[in-house]
Amino acid sequence: MKRILSLVLTMLITSAFLFPGAVLAVNDDLDNPDDGIVSQNEAYDDLLSDPPADIPDIVGTSYILYDAESDSVLMGRNIDMQIQPAAITKLMTVLIALENLDLDDTVTVTQPMYIGIPENYYTLGVTEGEEVTVRDLIYAALLESDSDACLCLAIKISGAESLFTGLMNSRASELGCTNTFFTNCYGNDDVSNLSTAHDMALILDACTEHQDFVDISTTFQHTMLGTNLYADSRIISNANRFISTQEYSYDYYTGGLTGYVEGAGYSIAAAANKNGRKLVGIILGATDSLGRYANMIDLFDCGYSSFSTLTIDQGEFMPLYNETIEQINSALLGTDLAVMESSMELSSCLTTTTARVSLGSTNTVDLSNVIIDTTMMDNQDFRIPVVRIFNDGKTYIVGVLNVQIGEKDNLVSINPEKRSIWTALKTVLVTVIVILSLLIILVYSMIVFRKKARRRASREFSNKNKML
């Protein structure tokens, strides 16, 4: 009898796997979260309100030290104050030339390319009809700050300086400059070129993305070969003290310009790259020509020693991502809602003080403002901050978790119109057949068992008679 019951139980379990309709009818399978990660380099709040103890004393109306990789302002003063940028205006002219011309292109000089430049301004000395390469003009603009070189480039590109300054303003806007306005391509004191330390940092950062700019800016001396009008070569020497002197030489310098304007003082724009980390420094309205170089070196040294740029490792955040999705789904148990889609976007890096980094940090997802309406069946989209909290309490947003909440898919109601009478009848017939099969097997087993019992009794009776 035990064998018969065991056989019946086995068949019942097997039938459940063969005909799982009842199990699927109550199965609430949820969509798997989308694990795709999209890196995103977002701008951070600057560190101006949290200066390091060794911040240098910068002499100037305004200044900035900008971390290009993380788009962070490390140090600064009056970074958005408009001031005449003077000759560092040429950075924008050179940037547009690098973006629109080939270095081997030739410019045929016309009078508007040099007429009208004030006598006390540096010039290359081009003349009408002379053919000069774009390469030589950019060397002249960056190494000697030659104004006629910039005019040649501007008119070559746009046909007139007035049209070119419109292009300068458009490009500045594209770079994120919000307080910059150019009316001249080389920095004439008599016109109202206006910019800020912050905007000029963005322009120089874009310049240094071009390797030709870096190579030319850091050249000690360039020889301009003879042209169609002058057989003699011309020597173009770098006037920037980062390159031309030993006293202010800086190993990590990658390019820039200096300037001076009557009434606004001295200016300097410089970029540095140390171990792949690019910093951009701008000082406007300095009162001393040599002091601006010393100040810039102090800025760079402080930037590299007192601040650290951390790479945001996406893999480090994946456990947090998965735990958060699981936490949201757990909170929605007992409702008709679940996470339908999810993804995580992270910034590529984060810059903060080196002292803060040494304290350690933790990562979390800020769910404090997430309110889900469990009565609404339409999709609800949330952008949830992903944050890094340092052990001194400083918090940075390093990304966002995108979550879409919607009505979960119940397999019974996926295609309700297909649940016809025949579908229901078929299920009943299958169930009846299974039960009848089991009963037949049971009856057959009992008959076999009874026959064996009778044979055993008959043999025992016959053996007893033989013994008697």
**What string of DSSP letters covers 28-74?**
---PPP---EEE-------STTS--TT-----SSEEEEEETTTTEEE
Asked whether the predicted pLDDT for residue 39 surpasses 70, the reply is no
Question: Residue 468's pLDDT is what?
Answer: 53
What percent of the chain is predicted at pLDDT more than 90?
65
Where residue 276 falls (left for φ over 0; alpha for ψ -120 to 50; beta otherwise) is: left
Mean pLDDT confidence for 87-110: 97
- Of the candidates 212, 254, 234, 251, which has an alpha carbon nearest to the alpha carbon of residue 94? 212
Question: Residue 203's pLDDT is what?
Answer: 98
Encode pLDDT of 354-404 as tens digits.
999 999 999 999 998 888 888 888 889 999 999 999 999 888 889 999 999
Question: Residue 188's pLDDT is what?
Answer: 85
Cα gap 275→252, rounded to integer Å: 9
Cα gap 9→299, rounded to integer Å: 82
Contact in structure between 309 and 277 (CB atoms under 8 Å) = yes
Helix (H) or strand (E) segment spanning residue 444:
helix 421-467
User: Counting every residue, how long is the chain?
Assistant: 468
Which distant-in-sequence residues (6+ apart) come within 8 Å of 78 by Cβ?
61, 62, 63, 197
Task: Report residue 46's pLDDT band, with 50, 70 and 90 as the boundaries.
Answer: low
What is the pTM (predicted TM-score) of this model?
0.75
Question: Residue 456's pLDDT is what?
Answer: 73
Question: Residue 426's pLDDT is what?
Answer: 65
Cα gap 92→169, rounded to integer Å: 9
Question: Residue 370's pLDDT is what?
Answer: 87
Mean pLDDT confidence for 47-62: 86
Question: Residue 461's pLDDT is what?
Answer: 60
Question: Residue 425's pLDDT is what?
Answer: 65
Task: Report residue 181's pLDDT band, with 50, 70 and 90 as the boundaries.
Answer: very high
Mean pLDDT confidence for 313-324: 93
- Of the candidates 248, 287, 243, which has an alpha carbon nearest to the alpha carbon of residue 57? 287
Question: Residue 264's pLDDT is what?
Answer: 80
Task: Report residue 427's pLDDT band, with 50, 70 and 90 as the boundaries.
Answer: low
CB atoms within 10 A of CB 76: 23
Question: Residue 444's pLDDT is what?
Answer: 81
Asked whether the predicted pLDDT for residue 416 surpasses 50, the reply is no
Question: Residue 105's pLDDT is what?
Answer: 96
Encode pLDDT of 235-284 as tens digits.
999 999 999 999 999 999 999 999 998 878 999 999 999 999 999 999 99
Question: Residue 45's pLDDT is what?
Answer: 43
> Which string of DSSP letters, residue by residue, matches 294-316?
HHHHHHHHHHHHHEEEEE--HHH
Mean pLDDT confidence for 129-153: 97
Question: Residue 194's pLDDT is what?
Answer: 95
Mean pLDDT of the chain: 84
Encode pLDDT of 197-211 as tens digits.
999 999 999 999 999
Question: Residue 23's pLDDT is what?
Answer: 23
**Coil, strand, or helix at residue 98?**
helix
Question: Residue 434's pLDDT is what?
Answer: 79
Higher per-residue pLDDT: 419 or 144? 144
Higher per-residue pLDDT: 431 or 391? 391
Helix (H) or strand (E) segment spanning residue 399:
strand 395-407
Mean pLDDT confidence for 64-77: 93
**Coil, strand, or helix at residue 165?**
helix
Residues forming a β-bridge with 404: 341, 381
